[in-house]
Amino acid sequence: MRARDFSADSDAASLRLRQVMQERGRAGRFCETWTLYPAGAPVTVTLACQPITIEGARTALLIEATQTAGGDADVHAARLQESVRYACSMLSMYAMDGTLLTQNTNAFGCYGAPLEPVRRADAARDLSARLCDPDAARKLLDAVARSAVSDTEQEVQTAQGRRVHRIRAQEGRDPATGNIVAVLNEDDITDLVDMRRRLNALNTDLERHVAERNQQLKISEERFSLAMRGANDGLWDLDIASGNVYLSPRWYAMMGYAPGELSESLNDILDLVHPEDRHLANPARFGEDAPEGPTAEMEFRMRHKNGDWLDILTRAFLVVRGGTVTRVVGVKYSTKYP
């Protein structure tokens, strides 16, 4: 069959022949309607298939092809049948007790031929053998019985081992009996689920690292705060971009203020500096080419809360990023009254 290129997909044709042999060969002679493509032209034929045994006790399939009259052919039905035959999704039809009625070639390639029915009235048969969760088959069939559409992810037992499928099931009719059936559409999403699990693991690990880092930062901040409270010198930290200044509790105490009593903006702090000394305290005096590191000591006058002018001695450290001074950290380690 493959050598004569009777199908649009020779591998699928071979798989389909193995399927009908395993699923219908036990009944003896059976017939299938196929569309073949000799010389590329479609020909609808009836294949009369008869399982036989040949030399070496090997099982073979004797096929007699009879061309079907094309004038009355239902083109739409033929196209739909061909689409189902080569569909990438796994399509199956189950009776409401879980017995497999039919499946397309892709489902057969995944699961193989159906198992012999298990003679238990309290359990679904073929469907329960495919789903790893023993309760999943009954829940799925119960949903279909309520005319609901079931859309779940299930671990399934395939011929190649356990996989994860997205299974969409809904109510249908068996054209042979008219009975209500469950029509299943399955897609293998094992790789997607594995990727999702790996991403979840990475996110969990990242969250753990972030939590640990936040805890370390919290401890560092607490240590820094305690150190600043216990230090005898006042610390200030200026963010050049925002113009905000951090002032330690000791800095406030040296200037006669309570923590938070002053607006911690550069302009407001500079307003406390004597007008004649403001150029010494203004960080704008550090040019763009200023190197990172400590600066020379600076001395200028600042107004105490009580109105007195204090002589302030301070040293700063410049933080440079991309050739630009981004932060200035300073220590006011002594004051001298006039």
Tokens 């911690």 sit on residue = 264
And the tokens for 299? 């001395």
Is 325 within 8 Å of 317 (Cβ atoms)? no
DSSP 3-state of 179: coil
Q: What predicted TM-score, i.e. pTM, was given to this entire model?
A: 0.53
The whole-number pLDDT of residue 94 equals 94
Regions in the chain scoring below 70 on pLDDT? 1-10, 25-27, 69-74, 85-86, 114-125, 221, 223-232, 288, 333-338
CB-neighbour burial class of residue 207 (10 A; exposed 0-12, middle 13-18, buried 19+): exposed
Is 13 within 8 Å of 45 (Cβ atoms)? no
Angle at 194 between CA 190 and CA 196, to 5 degrees: 115
Angle at 173 between CA 167 and CA 175, to 5 degrees: 125
Is 285 within 8 Å of 295 (Cβ atoms)? no
The whole-number pLDDT of residue 3 equals 47
120: phi then psi, degrees, rounded to nearest 5: -135, 125
Q: What share of the chain is helix, strand, coil (3-state, %, to 5)?
A: 35, 35, 30
Is 121 within 8 Å of 93 (Cβ atoms)? no
Angle at 129 between CA 125 and CA 132, to 5 degrees: 135
The whole-number pLDDT of residue 337 equals 46
The whole-number pLDDT of residue 154 equals 94
Nearest-angstrom CA–CA distance, 86 and 105: 7
And the tokens for 3? 């050598």
The whole-number pLDDT of residue 187 equals 94
Nearest of 249, 235, 244 to residue 326 by alpha carbon: 244
DSSP code, position 56: G
* Buried/exposed code over 184-198 (b: 16+ C-beta within 10 A; e: otherwise): bbbebbeeebeeeee
Angle at 157 between CA 155 and CA 159, to 5 degrees: 140
